[in-house]
Structure 1
Amino acid sequence: MTPGPQNAITDIEGLKVGHAQDDRLKSGVTVLTADTPFTASVSVQGGAPGTRETDLLAPDKSVAQVDALVLSGGSAYGLDACSGVVEGLRATGRGYRVGNTIIPLVPGAIIFDLLSGGDQSWTDTPYPALGRAAFEAATHSTPIGTIGAGTGAMTAMMKGGLGTASLTLDSGITVGALVAANPMGSVTTPGDKHFWAAPFEIDGEFGGLGPDAHTGLGRTHDSRKLTAMLERANTTIAIVATDATLDKAQCQRVAIAAHDGIARACVPAHSPSDGDLVFSVSTSARPMTTPRDLALIGHAAALCLSRAIARGVYAATPASGDLLPTWGQLNADI
């Protein structure tokens, strides 16, 4: 397995990602879409999720494909970002046709970033406009760090962020991940230097410092975030995708496997106060050739997700009013 040309979820042909954020608000939205609908499912493993239309992604539900997926800040308010994406899709004639009307299908999930130091004095929710702007900005590449849904994200000890990564299997199948990392847990070992995801790093993509040489790690949980905010202000939300042809049940299986990527990169993960969620997408461009392919896609999705989390945090940039430092500020001497 090797990373794709961009080391991004947009290495999967046809997928587009758009971001919009309000730096005064310290929040934003990220949208994944394509020119045609795609198969999708979801797995929720956190205890405090915030979602829209995720029930229709269950394998036993009749909807086969959706038009876009939304990752948003803003807690419950951020779910309105999906409405902005629906408006954008409808304006382009995209959606599920029922008689003479069109219904775009746009599931979404949110992180809690309302206490990230931004100005929350707005009267009318800004998230529909941010969702529409993110959809209209969608391209076949994606930057990382303090952008889109990762704008106000924080980990236990430092600023979070928006990350992505990809892998191409020996079979030619491509797998990618896109994530807004805002976990209760830490993404680095004690000392703020080594990423928990370090064993899976490729070509120094998040600093190249390697794993922490200490053992017995994980038995303490220091948290600058908990000191600055509230315990329930968390969640890691992600999308994993592949160009392999998968049905909804197979997509769900990949989403379940991908959660291992969160657990390897965030310690602890899947807590009662995290809303940890993974969407899984198939563009159905490439048939699987052996029964083993599905297992390898799930494995690659977990690897990509771990790397994407670390990459997003590593790329985070400081801004006025931040409650926590970035990884770069904490490790300026490296």
Structure 2
Amino acid sequence: MTRNLITDIPGIRVGHAGDMALGSGSTVIVFDKPTIGSIDIRGGGPGTRETAMLEPDYTVDNIDAVTLSGGSAFGLEAGAGAQALLREKGRGFRIRDAVVPIVPGAILFDLLAGGNKDWGRYAPYREFGYEAAKNARADFALGTVGAGVGATTRTLKGGLGSASAKTQSGFTVGAIVATNAAGNVTIGSGPHFWAAPYEHNKEFGGRGWPAKMPPNALAFRSKGQVRENTTIALVATDAALTKSQAKRLAIMAQDGMSRAIYPVHTPLDGDIVFAMSVGRKPLPEPIYALSELGTLAANVLARAIARGVYEATPLPFRGALPSWKDKFG
């Protein structure tokens, strides 16, 4: 069965946790087996956990899970929660009798999106990470869930999106993303998504391009200040890749943000793409096949960004941004 989710790739499960009254949450992507991965960071204000080791020249190759979370720097604690759940299951990097689950993560800023952030001494994100990892499964919700609870764009509610597709040679590529962009995912003030040329089966409304491009479509407009933004994503494939090839996949997948968000990769954002290889079947050759894989990853990420905004619902707070469906549906 094709779900049009990143979990169309066997060996990947996704879980969410969050609190609507808080206006924030976390998402955990759990890999059934230790997984090779890398990362590409393009935004000027990123927030990350355990990402240096994802570079090809570092020692640890295998990842157990990845967290995407709201909460700004507080949300990095979601990784500790996911790590606790995995440790209970005996998962992790083994050094004699010690077992350390490897859980990189990234965060977005949603502290000003509404909700009661007066959580006391300790933020709730560690518990969100544990609960999300515990809830991880193949079928999962999109929109205002997990890391997408407090996500926004300049004009519309942001959200958690996912999509998948196959290459001509049969490899699957999937993406999951929490879109909290300084820019817009729609063209001008209308309902048309920048990602429209890549849409499959009306997955985000089927509106296509506007009949005429609005005159102000390319004007620079931004929602907020430094670190009030950030789009965080993960792409994955069932092709067997080296760490260096996963790095190239992450770099190419970043083009999906450029196809779906305008403007993007600004000093106001912290845009990040993780890339993971969960497969055992090698590419038929290392250059052309990886190029095809990366091109498709960018397309799938663009679709996931639009889909997350399309599926979002507004937060129940006065002054909250409208959802796409409330405004245009």
Question: Does TM-score exceed 0.5, indicating one fold?
Answer: yes
Aligned-partner residue type, residue 277 of structure 2: S
Q: How does 1:298-313 map to 2 (within 5 A)?
A: 298-313=294-309
Aligned counterpart for 2:34 among listed residues 33, 37, 47: 37
Q: Aligned-pair distance for 1:46?
A: 0.4
Aligned-partner residue type, residue 7 of structure 1: N
Q: In the alignment, which residue of structure 2 is the partner of 1:191?
A: 189
Q: Is the 8 A contact 2:226 2:267 kept in 1?
A: no
Q: TM-score, normalised by structure 2?
A: 0.96
> Which has the larger displacement, 107-116 or 286-295?
286-295
Q: Aligned-pair distance for 1:222?
A: 4.1
Matched, 1:220 2:219: yes
Structure 1 CA distance, aligned partners of 2:59 and 2:210? Answer: 47
Q: In the alignment, which residue of structure 2 is the partner of 1:178?
A: 176
Q: In the alignment, which residue of structure 2 is the partner of 1:279?
A: 274
Q: Secondary structure at the match of 1:279?
A: strand
Matched, 1:240 2:225: no
Q: Aligned-pair distance for 1:221?
A: 3.4
Q: In the alignment, which residue of structure 1 is the partner of 2:53?
A: 56
Q: Is the 8 A contact 2:23 2:315 kept in 1?
A: no
Aligned-partner residue type, residue 194 of structure 1: H
Q: Is the 8 A contact 1:184 1:231 kept in 2?
A: no
Q: Is the 8 A contact 1:157 1:222 kept in 2?
A: no
Matched, 1:317 2:313: yes
Structure 1 CA distance, aligned partners of 2:14 and 2:226? Answer: 31
Aligned counterpart for 1:166 among listed residues 164, 174, 182: 164
Deviations 1:121-170 (A, max 9, x none): 11121000000000000001222111000010000110000000000112
Aligned counterpart for 1:211 among listed residues 209, 212, 215: 209
Q: In the alignment, which residue of structure 2 is the partner of 1:71?
A: 68
Q: Is the 8 A contact 2:192 2:207 kept in 1?
A: yes
Q: Secondary structure at the match of 1:235?
A: coil
Deviations 1:287-327 (A, max 9, x none): 21133110011001000000000000000012310621100
Structure 2 CA distance, aligned partners of 1:16 and 1:108? Answer: 16
| Alignment gaps of 5+ in structure 2 | none
Structure 2 CA distance, aligned partners of 1:192 and 1:127? Answer: 35
Identical pairs, percent? 49
Matched, 1:99 2:96: yes
Q: TM-score, normalised by structure 1?
A: 0.95
- Which segments of structure 1 move beyond 4 Å, counting only runs of 4 or more? none
Q: Aligned-pair distance for 1:118?
A: 1.2
Structure 1 CA distance, aligned partners of 2:279 and 2:143? Answer: 29
Structure 1 CA distance, aligned partners of 2:259 and 2:117? Answer: 33
Q: Is the 8 A contact 2:15 2:135 kept in 1?
A: yes
| Alignment gaps of 5+ in structure 1 | none
Structure 2 CA distance, aligned partners of 1:65 and 1:212? Answer: 44
Cα-Cα RMSD = 1.3
Aligned-partner residue type, residue 78 of structure 2: A
Q: Aligned-pair distance for 1:231?
A: 5.0
Matched, 1:16 2:13: yes
Structure 2 CA distance, aligned partners of 1:71 and 1:330? Answer: 27
Q: Is the 8 A contact 2:152 2:158 kept in 1?
A: yes
Structure 1 CA distance, aligned partners of 2:22 and 2:183? Answer: 24
Matched, 1:288 2:283: yes
Q: Secondary structure at the match of 1:32?
A: strand
Q: In the alignment, which residue of structure 2 is the partner of 1:109?
A: 106
